[in-house]
Structure 1
Amino acid sequence: MGKGNKMKKLIQENEKWENEILSDELKKSGERKADFSTASGIPIKRLYSPIDMEGKGFDYLRDLNFPGSYPFTRGKTPTMYRSDFWIFGQYAGFGTAEEANKRYKYLMSKGSSGLSVALDLPTQVGLDSDHDLARGEVGKVGVAINSFKDIEDLFDGIPLNKPRQISTTANSMGPVWAAMLIALGKKQGVSPEKYNLRLQNDSLKEFIARGTYIFPPSPSLKFSCDVIEYFANNSPGWFPISISGYHIREAGATAVQEVAFTMANAIAYIEETLSRGLSFEKFGPQLSVFLSSGMDLFEEIAKFRAMRRVWSRIIKERFKIDDSKLLALNLICFTAGSTLTAQQPYNNLMRVTIEALASVLGGCQSLLPSSMDEALCTPTEKAVTLSLRTQQILAYETNIASTIDPLGGSYFVETLTFEIEESVLDYLDKIDEMGGAVRAIENGFFQKEISEASFRRYQKIETGEDVVVGANKFVHDEDTNIEIMKTDPESEIRQVEKVRRVRKERNNDRVEKALGELRKSADRNDNLVPPILEAVKSYATIGEICDVLRDVYGEHDQPSCY
């Protein structure tokens, strides 16, 4: 029987099943609800079969192919986790550099292979700890970093080549963080090829979702690309940017919007870097994407697969890159903090496990699971250890890493992958028509889309249409006995004293000279990493460096998107 006849036969048998078997069952028991859909609103059919694949025009070699082969749907490398597990990352940082240093050493002693540095809000927006606007926020949601002295203390006793990877959330001040780690590597005597540095450095998504912007969109794009250019020319093994959909998703975006808006930002970074005369061959392999992993298990798995496929196809078709080695995507996943509840926080252990499972089944290169108590406080040692143990158990006890893309070929997962890809491409067409990501930021398009999606999501939670166990269903009023980590109230005082002591004891003539050269470079529109590096080595503070750049480029005022 030929392929066409087999499909006709299958369609006939499907209709027979619906009319003779399914219909009787529906009359007797019905279904739980009238409509089923993913968290992004993609309708979910009762059953998926080869009929759905045929409807999408599915071609194995074109749409899936083998792992490590274009379009990389099934994975970045030919062996994936059979060669080595993903990087076991943990996002951590609080208080002073000395306090955070103890947490990093603790995590590494428990088997963490990657350190992801959480920075406090003043640091992220380029303010020193003694600035009036920093009061009460120092060391609260991350570690306070003011000068190179803090970086020295943060990694005291931790050679940069000891973790498999070091990453951070530095974005609007990404070049400053890059300079600090470069300076530290030189001081430790560790050559750049011996350690793995990954910066987030995604300034565009700050305007879309996260809000820790400093400068307007255009100069912010320039700063991010300064790091890409510098790394390409000086440290080709490092990752200068992780284009982040994570915070876009956490702000309320759907899985489709997360991929689409991330890809739109990626296009902007690539186009800007190409305009500087760098070839994609030189900087493309250093790019990475950072996505959220939520609770809709199959949609999340399909999303990661669609992200790789969209990335590789756009790089190939839009930027005319034919070398398949340049088309593979480095994918970092972080389980969603927004799904964690303050109510019944032990339930969050299961949520984090499910989201981590989706990340691994989706083929991530690095995974950072949240901790169960994050809705209540900075994670305790107990909570962060359980978070690390979650991925260690997934890696060593479940056997899910023994075969590549185990859900590949699932009619449901493959259909979802197609549908996410199609919706993403529709969004990208709209953004292109507007003039690209920067223009879409300036006119509030991204922000409006996310706000509307977030409203729809939480409306469903408020009405009970979407169940959150322990929050809007299966609720109880009993107090949960859980340890809460409290910030040392003296930390801010110590940090303020420290930055003032640094300013007093350093060579201020050297600082003034370095900041003056930075201003000249900014006026000339030069790459700012080299002059920032000199400023960092002089112990100029982040606030002082960013103040120079504020004077040159101004500050961003977010427009209303309503």
Structure 2
Amino acid sequence: MSIPEDKKAWQDGAVAKSIAKSPERKPEFRTSSNIEMERCFTPEFDYPGYDEQLGLPGQYPYTRGVQPTMYRGRFWTMRQYAGFGTAKESNERYKYLLQAGQTGLSVAFDLPTQMGYDSDAAMAAGEVGKVGVAIDSLADMETLFDGIPLDKVSTSMTINSTAAILLCMYIAVAEKQGVPANKISGTIQNDILKEYMARGTYIYPPKESMRIITDIFAYCKDYVPKWNTISISGYHIREAGSSAVQEVAFTLADGIAYVEAAIKAGLNVDEFAPRLAFFFNAHNNLLEEVAKFRAARRIWGRIMKERFGAKDPKSQMLRFHTQTAGCTLTAQQPDNNIMRVTIQALAAVLGGTQSLHTNSRDEALALPTEDSVRIALRTQQVIAYESGVADSIDPLAGSFLVESLTDQVEKAAMEYIEKIDKLGGAVEAISRGFQQKEIQDSAYAYQKAIESSDMVIVGVNKFTVQEPPPTGLLKVKEEVEISQKQSLGAVKAGRDAAAVQAALSALETAAKGDDNLMPHILKAVKSYATLGEIADVFREVFGKHHETVVL
């Protein structure tokens, strides 16, 4: 068929089916000059390779988006990554954001929670509640979501080594609200491989960490089917200094490793792959970022179909969350960050993201204030409701520049993936320090370009001004750690100690064997065993990972 015939068949088939299920936001979309915006623009003539390279939205290879109507049906989920101090303080911030129009929650956990330590542990001293909310037990999780109906809100949790524990706490809170596990929706990051190469919040060795991850896949397939069991993350790879191409390549190579591990554990690819999700960075170069997102979708679609034989179209779709680039925020002239975030958010939307977090202007200085968070959320809302870019799907498609960039990002990323395959896959390549060295070299080149002024950073190495010290910043008080320890002590004193010990012993036996760990973690959580106690069981059985040093 010709492209016009393909388009008509797509409109009569996939689009009509999608609209019947979820109508578009308006009967028709028009510009301020009353020009109709088509759902999807295509060449009106045959375009060599169009089907193989681009296709139509919601159809393989998904270059143009994963849904037939994209934002004409509904906007991306607007999340603001938030969490600080105690669960009570964070709960108040979540309610503020929901009232301001946020459509999904995104939880930031403090460093001890991410590393599997309770707030009263020696390793937690000075870090409690500082970079996220402190969660020690189910009691904290109950407070965190108090008054927030978990059957109506989608929650993303940025957590990796302790993801299974936090997910079980979330399931337990939902059940206490009367919401069964099969009705909750959200995402856990649960991406341990990027921790080894770029971020550092790992606990256990790779083999044992991969076991926990595949246990989560298997458990959620049966009991928590609406949950995205992993968010394979390029965000932190980019924050560590990678290029856009490296971000795509290393993220998708990690995705390949997770799929292989799940298949090796006995899962059918189409049983778990539809719930895989991704997490990307939106950096400053708008057009390269748009091309990056489009290329990533196409590469993943082909990998899943051709390499793993996935039959379910949902298994072939790369669905992703985006966060604007924290590493581009400057402490100098922080209001400039509003413009940077706007450009980055626009790139994510033009690239077809499924959800988006916009960073706040003051995050290079401290945790964001409520005013700064509101500006960041309003940035998304202005793009959604006022810019017009959401009225048509993949609006930059067909641009000579964007299509060329998309092809070049795909080619360069595939070259990296092939190198990683030759090294034995992502896990083996990480153990040799391959990705770490590539990221380090890229970060060094980027920093040199800034210091030499070959790359201009407005307000930093050009257009500078004398500025007074910043005021009105949000700081987490030291009293937070004291009160959190007191709360933890009260939980320990009031729980059934025998039930806790029995649950932890059963978990240890499961960890030494080959049972799925999730039911045992859930039972321990419900007994009010703490996050640190559960993580310590795994530390004892699995051991701890030691970093591969790359010079």
Same fold by TM (over 0.5)?
A: yes
Provide the identity percentage: 52
Q: 89, 96, 108: which is aligned to 1:99? A: 89
Measured in 1, the distance between the counterparts of 2:311 and 2:218 equals: 22
1:53-68 aligned at under 5 Å gives the runs 59-68=49-58
Aligned letter for 2:284? Answer: M
Change (3 A) 1:147 1:325: closer
Measured in 2, the distance between the counterparts of 1:532 and 1:322 equals: 33
Q: What is the deviation of 1:193?
A: 3.9
Aligned letter for 2:540? Answer: D
Checking the alignment, whether the CA contact within 8 Å between 2:183 and 2:226 is kept in structure 1 is: no
1:240-319 aligned at under 5 Å gives the runs 240-319=229-308
Q: What is the deviation of 1:279?
A: 1.2
Checking the alignment, whether the CA contact within 8 Å between 1:120 and 1:138 is kept in structure 2 is: yes
> Which residue does 1:471 correspond to in 2?
460
Aligned letter for 1:504? Answer: A
CA shift digits 1:218-254 (9 cap, x unpaired)? 1111112211111112122210100000001000011
Q: What is the deviation of 1:482?
A: 4.6
Moved over 6 A (4+): none
SS at match of 1:527: coil
Whether 1:402 aligns to 2:379 is no
Moved more, 314-323 or 334-343: 314-323
Measured in 1, the distance between the counterparts of 2:514 and 2:140 equals: 29
> Which residue does 1:561 correspond to in 2?
550
Gapped runs of 5+ residues in structure 1? 1-53
Change (3 A) 1:58 1:200: farther
Measured in 2, the distance between the counterparts of 1:547 and 1:380 equals: 35
CA shift digits 1:448-484 (9 cap, x unpaired)? 1111100000010011000100011111122265521
Q: What is the deviation of 1:329?
A: 1.5
Moved more, 73-82 or 486-495: 486-495
CA shift digits 1:84-133 (9 cap, x unpaired)? 00001110000000110000000001000110000000000000001111
Measured in 1, the distance between the counterparts of 2:100 and 2:379 equals: 12
CA shift digits 1:472-516 (9 cap, x unpaired)? 111112226552111122111000111111111110100000000
- The normalised TM-score by structure 1 is 0.89
CA shift digits 1:17-56 (9 cap, x unpaired)? xxxxxxxxxxxxxxxxxxxxxxxxxxxxxxxxxxxxx9xx
Q: How many residues align?
A: 506
Measured in 2, the distance between the counterparts of 1:149 and 1:441 equals: 37
Measured in 1, the distance between the counterparts of 2:411 and 2:282 equals: 20
Whether 1:199 aligns to 2:183 is no
CA shift digits 1:353-412 (9 cap, x unpaired)? 000000000000000111111100011000001111000010001111000000000100
> Which residue does 2:330 correspond to in 1?
341
> Which residue does 2:422 correspond to in 1?
433
SS at match of 1:267: helix
SS at match of 1:116: strand
Aligned letter for 2:256? Answer: I
Checking the alignment, whether the CA contact within 8 Å between 1:236 and 1:283 is kept in structure 2 is: no
SS at match of 2:228: coil
Measured in 1, the distance between the counterparts of 2:470 and 2:386 equals: 30
Aligned letter for 1:110? Answer: A
> Which residue does 2:437 correspond to in 1?
448
Measured in 2, the distance between the counterparts of 1:195 and 1:356 equals: 27
> Which residue does 1:157 correspond to in 2?
147
SS at match of 1:367: strand
Measured in 2, the distance between the counterparts of 1:74 and 1:553 equals: 43
Whether 1:494 aligns to 2:490 is no
Measured in 2, the distance between the counterparts of 1:68 and 1:234 equals: 27
Checking the alignment, whether the CA contact within 8 Å between 1:81 and 1:401 is kept in structure 2 is: yes
Q: 114, 117, 135: which is aligned to 1:127? A: 117
SS at match of 1:312: helix
SS at match of 1:98: helix
Q: What is the deviation of 1:58?
A: 5.3
Whether 1:353 aligns to 2:329 is no
Change (3 A) 1:429 1:58: farther
Measured in 2, the distance between the counterparts of 1:388 and 1:499 equals: 34
Aligned letter for 1:252? Answer: G
> Which residue does 1:48 correspond to in 2?
none
Measured in 2, the distance between the counterparts of 1:155 and 1:430 equals: 44
Q: 496, 504, 521: which is aligned to 1:532? A: 521
Q: What is the deviation of 1:184?
A: 1.0
Checking the alignment, whether the CA contact within 8 Å between 1:369 and 1:387 is kept in structure 2 is: yes
> Which residue does 2:502 correspond to in 1?
513
Checking the alignment, whether the CA contact within 8 Å between 1:344 and 1:480 is kept in structure 2 is: no
Checking the alignment, whether the CA contact within 8 Å between 1:179 and 1:529 is kept in structure 2 is: yes
Aligned letter for 1:167? Answer: S
Whether 1:416 aligns to 2:413 is no
> Which residue does 2:157 correspond to in 1?
168
Checking the alignment, whether the CA contact within 8 Å between 2:270 and 2:311 is kept in structure 1 is: no
Checking the alignment, whether the CA contact within 8 Å between 2:84 and 2:110 is kept in structure 1 is: yes
Change (3 A) 1:480 1:405: farther
CA shift digits 1:318-353 (9 cap, x unpaired)? 001244343112111110100000000000000000
- The normalised TM-score by structure 2 is 0.90
CA shift digits 1:285-324 (9 cap, x unpaired)? 1000100000010000000000100000000110012443
Moved more, 181-190 or 76-85: 181-190
